[in-house]
Amino acid sequence: MSISGKVVIITGASSGIGRATAILLAEAGATVVLGARREDALASIARDIVAAGGRAIYKATDVSVRADLEALVQLAVDEAGRLDVIVNNAGISPISRFDALRVEDWDAMIDVNLRGTLYGIAAALPVFQRQQSGHVVNVVSTAGLKIVPTMGVYAATKNAVRTISEALRQESGPHLRVTEVSPGMIATNLGDSVSDPSVRDALAARLGAIAIAPSAIARGIAFAIDQPDDVEVGSIVIRPTAQD
C-alpha cells in the first residue's frame, strides 16, 4: 500500500503545514482524518477535499487533552476501519527571551508541542500494535538543530520530541515506522502566537524574506509515507536554501 488507500490522522490540520499535508495526501488517495481546535476551519478544508473527489473526516481536537486524541483515533477506526499514519503536527511558538519570564507561554509550548505529541503516540500505538503496522510522523523543527536566542523553550520542546522519536524507533520493531520532519522557515501563521511584539516583528520580517511554502513540508511527509513498508525514512530536514 502506498499513500493511496491509507488512513492518515493529521493534527494541527486547520492551517499551514497541516492543511497542506491534508490536501496533498487526499489528492494522492489517502483518507485524511483532520484534528485541530478550530472546527469551522476543519469543516471548510474537509468540504474542499471532498468536493475535489477526496475523502476527509474531522473532529475538533485540542492535543493538550489526551481524551481528544483518543477520540480522534477512534473516529478514524470507526469511520475508516483502520489507522495507518498519525502526523503529530500541532504546535505553537510563543517565543521570547528567558528574562521576559513568560512562564505561561513556556507551559503552553510544553502542553501542545510535547505533551500533544506524546498523547498522539499513546492514542495511536494500541491500534498500530493490533494491526501490526503503522507510521508515526512527528513534526519537529530546525530550531532544535541551531539554537538561537528567544527560541530556548520552543527548541527544547522540539528536541524532546526528536529524542522521543528516536527512542520510539528503536523500540518499535519491524512493524512500526517512525519519521521526524524538521521544517525551517515556513510561511505559516505559527508566528501569530508570539506575544512579544519586538520578537514577533523580527520573526515576521525573517519569514517574509526567505520563508518557503508549507507544501514543501507536505511533500516531505508524503515522501516518507509513500515508501515501502520495509523502508523507514527516519529524519528529514526541509528549509529554505537561503536559511543559515
Mind telling me the catalytic residues?
A: 154
CB burial class (10 A; 0-12, 13-18, 19+) of residue 9?
A: buried
Classify burial at 200, counting beta carbons within 10 Å of its beta carbon; exposed 0-12, middle 13-18, buried 19 or more: middle
Contact present, 68 and 11 (Cβ < 8 Å)? no
